[in-house]
Structure 1
């Protein structure tokens, strides 16, 4: 499992120019079952994603395809997490241990 932090760079003002492509990229991740959660970092600092069922190399390749990353609107940080315990509402995440 991976936690991806997308922090706005100095090119933050260009986000509106690439938002449509970024949203399509996110939807592709959800459609493929890789992304299980995404949202905004507050206050207006960027975004975050939780990804499952991929290797480190695969998630690096996927993140590199984000228009926000390509155009340097955000800087990405990929954090690998091996879950060991979860509330029963999130127990499905325990099945995704790499």
Structure 2
């Protein structure tokens, strides 16, 4: 499982020009079954993605394809998590023992 933080960068002012493409990219992440949750970092600091179901190389490639990342609107920082304990609804995330 991965948590990726997309923090606004120097080219933040260009965000309105790429928001439609960024939203399409998010929709594809959900359609592909890779994204579990996407939301904003508060207050207006960028965004965060909770993802599962692909390896690190594929996840990093997906993140690099985000128009916001490609255009320098955000910088991406990804952490890999090996879930050991979850609520029952999220048991699918746990790594087998």
Flag whether TM exceeds 0.5 (same fold).
yes
1:36-83 Cα distance to aligned partner (Å, 9 max, x none): 100000000000001101111001100110000000000000100000
The residue that corresponds to 1:61 in the other structure is: 61
Q: Distance in 2 between matches of 1:44 and 1:85?
A: 30
Alignment of 1:1-98 (within 5 A): 1-94=1-94, 97=95
5+ residue gaps, structure 2, are none
TM-score after normalising by structure 2: 0.94
5+ residue gaps, structure 1, are none
Superposition CA RMSD, Å: 1.2
Q: Distance in 2 between matches of 1:37 and 1:92?
A: 15
Q: Distance in 2 between matches of 1:67 and 1:51?
A: 18
Structure 1 runs (4+) greater than 4 angstroms displaced: none
